[in-house]
Amino acid sequence: MNTLFGLSHNATLMFWTLLTIVFLIVLISKYKWNPFVTLLIAALLLGLLTGMQPMDVITSITGGLGGTLGTIAIVIALGTMLGKMMAESGGAEQIATTLVNRFGEKRVHWAMMIVGFIVGIPVFFEVGVILLIPIVFTVARKTKMSLLQIGIPILAGLSTVHGLVPPHPAPMIAIDAYGADLGITILYSFVIGIPAAILAGPVFGKYIGKRITTEPPEELAEQFSSKADRGLPGFGITIFTILLPVILMLIGSAAEIIDPNNTSAISVICKFVGHEVIALLIAAVFSFFSLGFARGFNKHELSKFTSECLAPIASIILIIGAGGAFKQVLINSGVGNAIAEIATGANINIILFAWLVAALIRVATGSATVAMTTAAGIVAPVLAMTPDANVALVVLATGAGSIVLSHVNDAGFWMVKEFFNMTVAQTLKTWTVLETILSVTGLVLALVLNLIV
């Protein structure tokens, strides 16, 4: 690729990337273009501007979209069915009522953070959002509190676990690459993760919830708030149903840690049922009985519920897929590598270096997992030459960097935008700031902890 205005190859890549992102934001925010179409145009434009062959750009777009939706589409569909069953049976109402009664309306947002933190341990971020969004809508409606004041703490809990807490896959990648001690890393992850989640969740949520007012998407709000005219289901069976996929995924994660080589049939079975698709499928089918037939619904009503709930999520799925396409073009165009090379040239503290590498790759590619994986490969050789480094804290710094500054190239950005019915500008002021607070707080606490231990 020819350089631009005498800039280096990496600087040229960064220039085109920045220009494309500005183009994307302006087209959606100011001119109200459909995000799905705009993301595809931006991905195509970026690929051509950075020197990719036209057919390679198309391959990247289709591969990125398909790769993103390969699992996510199934997860969203099954999770939405589970959420619909919770709503129609009154399960979401029961959980919301119990939380409000136990914590009080003034402290319910703290309960939301705890729920997000616990549910997020074995599941991917997107899965957690799908599982918990009906509860967010219901609690916000019951308490008359801002949707963001309820939702931000849950998002903070989910995101903290996604980037920092083993046995989540992202931190496990770095633990394996750096040779860190799992137990110590888990301990430090709670020491760092809990304060970060508090600051980015209940504290920031209360602040921003008073300044930005949003309402749930009308169709989703309707399907997640309606319920049959009958008594509420028991809290125990309701919470078990919503946590069933979490329990199954946790079993799968434990099997992966205990028996990574699949030496026993039990381990293989545990990993199978612990996969997010299988776990959600089992939970969705279980909900048909626990929250469906057991509540007096007949087969025709269940069929109606599970069919009608899919229509409102079609646009969300397409937008998330287009975000994945844009991300893949960023990766295949070499922008991710350019960011890594820039970071590697810096001569700084190993913890700060790990955070910076992961952060730059995250900003460039939009994927926390890609950022963690790529950064681990870059940081590991440097870490090997730093014998006095606290390896567990380097893991957590890498994880913190991998969740910074989520923006338009992140599928999670579009998921949050659509579920919380926000504009691009509002999503940048809320979700992007939340992620950045988590990331920077994680880095600061890792550096402080490094001075102590």
The answer, yes or no, to whether residue 136 has pLDDT greater than 70, is yes
pLDDT in the model for residue 281: 92
Judged against a pLDDT cut of 60, whether residue 229 lies above it is answered with: no
Q: Which of 126-130, 143-147, 300-304 has the highest mean pLDDT?
A: 300-304
Q: What is the mean predicted confidence (pLDDT) over 349-365? A: 83
For residue 120, give the nearest of 152, 151, 166, 75 by alpha carbon: 166
pLDDT score at 243: 80
Cα dihedral sign, 381-386-388-391: negative
Residue 257 has pLDDT above 60, yes or no: yes
CA angle 222, 228, 234 (to 5 degrees): 110
Lowest mean pLDDT among 123-137, 250-264, 291-305: 123-137
d(CA 432, CA 117): 19
CA 276 to CA 290: how far, in whole Å? 20
| pLDDT band, residue 197 (cuts 50/70/90) | very high
Query: DSSP label at 429?
Result: I
Residues 225/87, Cβ–Cβ less than 8 Å:
yes
Residue 155: pLDDT band with limits 50, 70, 90:
very high
Q: What is the structure's pLDDT at 122?
A: 53
**Token pair 């960011």 in the structure block, residue:** 339
pLDDT in tens, 309-344: 777 677 767 876 887 787 788 778 887 667 666 655
Q: What is the mean pLDDT of the chain?
A: 81
- Can you give the pLDDT at residue 285? 93
Q: What is the pLDDT of residue 167?
A: 62
Using a pLDDT cut of 70, give the percent of the chain over it.
87
* For residue 53, pLDDT beyond 60: yes
In this prediction, residue 371 carries a pLDDT of: 74
In this prediction, residue 445 carries a pLDDT of 94
pLDDT at position 204, please? 93
Answer whether 0.85 is exceeded by the pTM.
no
Q: Could you tell me which residue, 220 or 435, shows the higher pLDDT?
A: 435
- Residue 443 confidence class, pLDDT cut points 50, 70, 90: very high
The pLDDT of residue 282 is 93
Task: Work out the average pLDDT over 198-219.
Answer: 86
**Weakest-pLDDT range from 195-204, 294-303, 442-451:** 294-303
Q: How far is the C-alpha of 152 from the C-alpha of 150, rounded, in Å?
A: 6
The DSSP code sequence of 242-266 is: HHHHHHHHHHHHHHHHH-TT--SHH
Report helix, strand or coil for 146.
coil
Q: Quickly state the pLDDT bin for 216 (edges 50, 70, 90).
A: confident
Report percent pLDDT > 90 for the chain: 16
Tell me which of 97-106, 111-120, 215-224 is least confident.
Answer: 215-224
Residue 446 has what pLDDT? Answer: 93
Q: What angle do CA 221, 152, 158 make, to 5 degrees?
A: 100
Instruction: Compute the distance between CA of residue 14 and CA of residue 360 in angstroms, rounded to an integer.
Output: 11
Q: What pLDDT shows up at residue 169?
A: 61
Angle 23-129-111 from CA coordinates, rounded to 5°: 125
The per-residue pLDDT for 431 is 92
Q: What is the pLDDT of residue 137?
A: 84
